[in-house]
Structure 1
Amino acid sequence: MNPLYREISLKEEVSGCLLCNEAACTKACPHGVEVDKIIRSLRFENTSGAAEKLTLEMACESCDNKACLEACVKSKMSKTVPIDDIMIKAATYPKTPEKEVDLSITFCGVPCENPFFLSSSVVGSNYEMVARAFEMGWAGVAFKTIGNFVPKEVSPRFDALTKESVPFVGFKNIEQISDHTLEENLTFLKELKKNYPTKVIVASIMGTNEEEWTYLARIVTEAGADIIECNFSCPHMATDGLGSDVGQNPFLVATYTKATRKGTHLPILAKMTPNLGHMEIPALAAMEAGATGIAAINTIKSIMNVDLESFCSGPKVRGKTSVGGYSGKAVKPIALRFIYEMKSHEGLRKTPISGMGGIETWKDAAEFLALGCENLQVTTAVMQYGYRIIEDLIEGMKFYLINEGYHSISEIVGKAIEHIVPGDELDRDSICYPKFNKSKCVGCGRCYLSCYDGGHQALEQEPGSGKPILIASKCVGCHLCKVVCPVNAIETGK
């Protein structure tokens, strides 16, 4: 193993794993190594967790039993996942010392055992699903939006955006609110609160007029909800005047927030749409009308994947589709931008925010917390990988806090805000040159191509080796070369 490329090669190797349920590789291991859990930890950037699951006694390096490789399901379609190589590399990560760290956090006055909630969607839409998630460690759920009506859904209603070898960059859905009756949903809420009293139940509601918002708020309060979330943001309701149509109108946001407040004493979250320029405007309207906090962001209006033979876009419903909601890892930068703008606004600085939009790993979660969120909601990652991702969200966050010397998760909330400033406040009187690690560089020329064709022609390649030579007189310090380097051989220099 070349230690210079451990992270890069590991990322490639674990990304090829199918992440099977009841993984055959783990069942086949004669030494009891939790192969699937270790690979998942590496996949979700929880390297400390992966190392923690390996011991010297397991001795993967000296094991000549190939049962795990022979059992690998991927071998049915292509090359098997290099499990032996992955385990050896995972064992080289240092273990984190055992220390007490507090992942609990209070949100809108409600104590939460950790900040991780299921967001309002199909992943939290009935009793059995949510109960299973609670058993696995999720602290709460924003239950799938409840209304006075049951929508008639289409089939299919999901589609995915891909890129190169990455099978899932973004996700589109055209699903509406809960397909259960109001009575069924209220029963789910009551049973969940009865059987899981320490878990947090957020009832997402959507009315069609003021009376409905008040009524829905009252009955979910009576059913045992801890928090109410007003869905002002669903981008693909089949009826006008619902969802994001409301969220783009500060007057309607204020009107329906006031109506919700009439029906409850509980904390109220106004769930914001990203389908506008300035989220702080409707957010302020909601807070002034009686909301307790903000939830952001909901999905982004989108069209994706036009089939160039049929010219139909996905998901195809008998040859037609509609504008839907885009989610997944690709929307994280957009979500963080909106959250930053709200938390840096004078009128919203102290407003509790439940953040969502592209959270897959503990690192993603930590970024939302660092920009001021005190609660986190997840959907698309659960739809891809299942509720089990909570194990690495909790473990990865715990090990991060320990390694960085924090004692509680609350200590990192908002720590990134001061480091983001308006563009005119950035230092424009200096150049930061790239620094090339020649021992790590493989001479592929990617940096040269990008600089020559998309930058400032500030690089040359050494004859023979292909390694970069900086032309300082042309370099403007944009760091495009660093961004495109496939082996992380370029760093920030002087």
Structure 2
Amino acid sequence: MGYREVVLKSESSRCLLCKDAPCANACKNGVRIDRIIRSVNFDNTEGARYMLGDNPCAGCIDGACMQACNRAKFDSPVNINKITDIVSREEFVPEYNADLTTDLCGVKCENPFFLSSSVVGSNYDMVAKAFDEGWAGVAFKTIGMFTPNEVSPRFAELDKEDTAFVGFKNIEQISTYSLEENLSFFRKLKKNYPTKVIIASIMGSNEEEWTKLASLCEDAGADVIECNFSCPQMVGEGLGSDVGINPELVYAYTKAVRKGTKLPILAKMTPNITSMIPPAVKAMEAGADGLAAINTIKSIMNVNLDNFSTSPDVCGKSSVGGYSGKAVKPIALRFINEMKSDERLKDVPISGMGGIETWYDAAEFISLGCSTVQITTSVMQYGYRIIDDLKDGLKRYMKAHNFKSVSDFTGIAESNIIPADDLDRSYICFPKFDRERCVGCGRCFVSCYDGGHQAIKMNDNQKPVLYGKKCVGCHLCKVVCPVGAIGSGKKVSKTALNKH
């Protein structure tokens, strides 16, 4: 990553991603600068370059877009001129219509992108808007035989430095609409959007309820049933993640659901367990057709050191809730790989979720074996509009790698996840310093000395120098470099090094 990429990311991240963006409305050349910046923020720089076209911004002298920028009301405006200048230097890649269709337990999906079961898909109007914008389907907010009495507030975020929403916590329960209202949403959606996929997420408190809910949802037009065995903040014994950690209960309730429907069944797994394999296997034995993973992680967040409450703060109290957002993605990928590595589950369809914000995140899940992906937290932050870059970015990735369909790279990364004992430990890969790009900040020195192996010194020009005899090739220096001036260098066998 060079200077331009660093500047582009840092400046674009300052954008507020406004609704009805004043910068775009002020542009006399009709440049959709809001869409361009949004594409940059969602790892779709190629798409941003395509939208910019012949760069009419190059001749702009009045800077009306920057004058209209909402950020200027409390800070300096986003430097739109710099963003468009950097984007314009990218290679122009025409639009590419790759085949994004995929399959979920035999149900055809126009693309892999679904809303996951949550507030983002909780009534007709919301889901209809998402369908109109291009989402393939929805896992509707979980329904049951009861409606919960919710608390307020029920959301909180975890931030780091200037980045909000590194993590997100909720203490929300299942749908607050009545069962009949939810079933009416299904009927209307299926009538008006017959090609879209409706996953009915259900939760019962006993076998009879699971059977009844499955039957009612099938009659109302659902395409798939998702068993919520994993919600971490349900009130009441035998609900949510209390089910998911009990393989025998998973078996009994999945069997009850199968009794009530002929539709494909997904068992939604909880990450609040050491291994998902035992309950996942039991779900398949009981008649499930696929799995969904992961649900949110049990968490406590943001202790207020003045009054010692935690967030979300409900009259000075809170409770254990579900943690989601970008920070949980590595955990989700680990669980998905674990299930795909088991002989009994390797061919089972998985709908993946957990920390997906961009097309790149989604492609990672697909490469580890997921045929579809589900998204909530990113939609809560940025809206349904993110589907534009999810689809466009994935298409451009597929073109670059000559993938004709999503199935061409589904599970392609699985073989590269191997046991730790099987990793090649015969060499050291030394870091490589680009001293032209290096700005002399010394971050690599500080991290290597205080958190590594004291293998870096700074020369008289405040540039890093590697002390090879101490370097173990951990690449901490590469990870912390803020300007991308450290890369992977030469691989040297440990045998050769020991001879010296």
Q: How much does 1:97 deviate?
A: 3.6
Residue 465 (structure 2) aligned to one of 469, 477, 486: 469
Residue aligning to 1:160: 157
Pairing 1:95-106 to 2, within 5 Å after superposition: 95-106=92-103
- What is the SS of the residue equivalent to 1:53? helix
> C-alpha distance in 2, partners of 1:448/1:212?
61
Give the CA deviation at 1:99: 4.2
AA of the residue aligned to 2:464: P
Maintained 8 Å contact 1:246/1:252: yes
Q: 1:436 aligns with which of 433, 436, 459?
A: 433
Q: Look up the match of 2:207.
A: 210
Distance 2:2 2:190 in 1: 51
Letter in 2 for 1:379: T
Kept after mapping to 2: 8 A contact 1:112/1:200:
yes
Map Cα deviations across residues 31-64 of structure 1 (whole Å, 9 max, x no partner): 00001000000000101110010122x4212210
1:485 maps to 481
Alignment of 1:337-376 (within 5 A): 337-376=334-373
Work out whether 1:127 is the aligned partner of 2:121.
no
Separation in structure 2 between the aligned mates of residue 64 and residue 241 of structure 1, nearest angstrom: 65
Distance 1:98 1:134 in 2: 22
Aligned length: 490
User: Cα deviation per residue 1:110-132 (whole Å; 9 max; x = unaligned)?
Assistant: 00000000000000000000000
For 1:159, what is the secondary structure of its paired residue? strand
Matches within 5 A, 1:88-237: 88-237=85-234
**What is the TM-score when the length of structure 2 is the normalising length?**
0.97
Q: Is 1:308–2:318 an aligned residue pair?
A: no
What's the offset of the Cα at 1:404? 1.6
Show CA shifts across 1:233-252 (max 9, x none): 00000112100000000000
Output the CA distance in 2 between the equivalents of 1:314 and 1:238: 18
Displacement of 1:410 = 1.3
| Alpha-carbon separation, structure 2, partners of 1:271 and 1:99 | 34
Q: Determine helix, strand or coil for the equivalent of 2:317.
A: coil
1:45 to 35, 38, 43: 43
Amino acid at match of 1:198: T
Aligned to 2:33: 35
Residue 21 (structure 1) aligns with? 19
Residues 300 and 321 in structure 2, CA contact (< 8 A), matched pair in contact too: yes
> Partner amino acid for 2:365?
F
- The whole-number CA distance in structure 2 between the counterparts of 1:80 and 1:380 is 27
Aligned AA (2:71): K
Kept in 1, the 8 Å contact 2:50–2:94? The answer is no
Instruction: Output the amino acid matched with 2:453.
Output: H
* Contact 1:96–1:403 (8 Å) recurs in 2: no
Aligned partner of 1:46: which letter? N
Deviation (angstroms), 1:100: 3.9
Matched residues in 2 for 1:98 and 1:218: separation? 43
Residue deviations 1:288-325 (CA, integer Å, cap 9, x gap)? 11000000000000000011101000000111000000
How has the CA–CA distance of structure 1 residues 134 and 271 changed in structure 2, closer, same or farther, with 3 Å as cutoff? same
Question: Helix, strand or coil for the counterpart of 1:491?
Answer: strand
Rounded to whole Å, the distance in 2 between the matches of 1:405 and 1:94 is 18
Identify which range, 97-106 or 39-48, moves more after superposition.
Answer: 97-106
Task: Tell me by how many angstroms 1:438 deviates.
Answer: 1.0
So what's the TM-score if we normalise by structure 1? 0.98
1:432 match: secondary structure: strand
Q: Give me the whole-angstrom Cα distance separating, in 2, the residues matched to 1:362 and 1:55.
A: 22
Query: Cα offset for 1:96?
Result: 1.9
Q: Taking structure 1 as reference, are residues 311 and 98 closer, same or farther at Cα in structure 2, changes over 3 Å only? A: closer
Between the aligned partners of 2:471 and 2:413, the Cα distance in structure 1 is: 29
2:412 counterpart (412, 415, 420): 415
Aligned-residue CA RMSD in angstroms?
A: 0.9
Amino acid at match of 1:115: P
What SS does structure 1 have at the residue aligned with 2:57?
Answer: coil
2:318 is aligned with 1:321? yes
Inter-partner Cα distance in structure 2 for 1:80 and 1:403: 35
Please give the per-residue CA displacement for 1:75-122, whole angstroms capped at 9, x wherever unaligned: 011111101111111111112244441000111000000000000000
Question: Cα distance, 1:4 vs. partner?
Answer: 3.4
Alignment of 1:226-265 (within 5 A): 226-265=223-262
| Percentage of identical aligned residues | 63
Q: Which one of the candidate residues 9, 12, 23 is aligned to 1:11?
A: 9
Q: Distance in 2 between matches of 1:273 and 1:36?
A: 37
Counterpart residue type for residue 386 of structure 1: G
Matches of 2:95 and 2:358, distance apart in 1: 21
Residues in 2 aligned to 1:228 and 1:93: alpha-carbon distance in whole angstroms:
44
Q: In 2, distance between residues paired with 1:471 and 1:171? A: 41
Q: What is the rounded CA distance, in whole Å, between the counterparts of 1:328 and 1:41 in structure 2?
A: 19
Match of 2:393 in 1: 396
